[in-house]
A and B are shown apart, each in its own frame.
Chain A
């Protein structure tokens, strides 16, 4: 069953005008900064918000059609919505929460989400991860045709997150429901979604698979949102067929992309290598600066060198003996330097610009 959503509705400082189709069994992630209108999409689909203009249809059956004056109440649409803070009923037990949507599957769902032993507990007694599982079980108890997840991981601590993400991935694959996932975290989106739509100020900037977004971000906003380093500069072609970008700081970098004028240079952290001196390798671009920060994430270390963040394995970081303040050279190839049109801070961009 495919879900078809399009609407236009004024929010506080801009209009949210979005259009998307979620294919049967597909997980579509909406990513963007807070206040970009992501949750509005879920509210429109669930029937909690009636947009000025819009249409929502599941497999051709309209739930909302403002042109025809049709707007089904939320209880007349078959959606499972997991709210951002889960919105569990505080006065009801875990079991009563799950049974609220339908009795038939409650026992099976509680087994499946490993909350059967908590049946009599009140939500306030649960951990964040348990609450999330109750919220998922409750949303599925109605046997919905569409699943909507609003920041399902944001209420979890970093420690719980990784495990929950893997569980959710497996669940979504198994359910085969058209699913819309809202998140501000591109990594969550990349791990869970088949396609990702980047939203800013109520507009869809780019839609694609996570790989496509990273490989070819449509502009600087998408690039920095997907985790890339963003450098500003002025581009002009060189005789060798490359593009030379004079960065605002004065340094010069090369790219194989073609562009002229003001551009953003995007370099992903995993394409940056760190060394004590510029090596005689194929990398054309070198930035020499002191290390301003070192952050360990699992088996990787994020190293900030001047304007760049590079990611190296902890093994390499140890071998190099990296320390804060040490002057090192960060290198990346011209093929790893993507040139994108500039679009600055979200919100600052005018809707007309898209």
Chain B
């Protein structure tokens, strides 16, 4: 009986891992490495890579800068406000990308809720590079904030209280105790948000369009090349796989280095607060 069980488990695990690995192997197997590189040398891939990097770095900076205080407030808050804020932050996670794109257009587009006012000033957000940043920030920020809230909640309240009794005000307590202790979780959240932002497709397409060199990110370039030049699509895909793999590996290594962190997974659930 136990033999049958272990064989079954092994077979199931084998199928799962093979299934996850196969598409990635296929990307590299289809085209020889030399042709991959030369395809990347073509302008479209380079343009898309630059747009992707620029927009993602700006979006990530905004997410970290605004998301960290937000996460701290949620983690140290209580009651109804906290539950409401957590739900609000998680909303973009479950929102279909197409809905996110429509929502962003309705808000910031030329005739949008807020966009109308921006348009009066003489600029429009939609279909610009700034729109790509907004779309990425919208879909990726929940990944960072969730992870940051969990990281802040894992900081023993006795430590922040000890800092207060030692004469540190709220700002010094945050900077010298909460922030360093949550750094691992914040880093993981940032990596996760960055990975999600690099792959962002639907909302960007609807809100920012796919203008080469302006709003065309790597995923949008794949989509465009898909009809015209399948080898190029494969080459850009290979590039994205490499970028994602590097992010994942870097995060894992960072966690191993910071041995104080309890978990090596990016997907640590938001810790339940004990009351």
List A residues at the B interface (Cβ < 8 Å): 46-48, 73-75, 77, 79-81, 83-85, 87, 89-91, 100-102, 138-139, 141-142
Contacts and interface: CB of A to CB of B under 8 A. Distances in A.
Contacts of A85: 158
Interface residues of B, number: 17
Contacts of B227: none
Contact of B260 (A46, A80, A91, A100): A91
A75 B260 CA distance: 28
A84 B165 CA distance: 14
B168 interface: yes
Contact of A100 (B168, B169, B180): B168
B151 to A, nearest CB: 13
A304 B168 CA distance: 52
A75 B162 contact: no
B166 interface: yes
A73 B169 contact: yes
A24 B131 CA distance: 66
Contacts of A102: 167
Contacts of B158: 83-85, 87
A116 B119 CA distance: 65
Contact of B165 (A79, A89, A90, A91): A79
B162 A90 contact: no
A100 B166 CA distance: 7
Q: Closest 6 CB pairs between A and B?
A: A74-B164, A101-B166, A87-B158, A87-B162, A81-B165, A74-B165
Contacts of A141: 166
A91 B181 contact: yes
A267 B161 CA distance: 43
B142 to A, nearest CB: 27
Contacts of A90: 159, 181, 260
B165 A46 contact: yes
B164 A87 contact: no
A123 to B, nearest CB: 11
Contacts of A75: 164-169
Interface string B179-200: 0110000000000000000000
A74 B180 CA distance: 21
A74 B161 contact: yes
A118 to B, nearest CB: 19
Given A91-B180, A91-B260, A48 B168 contact: no
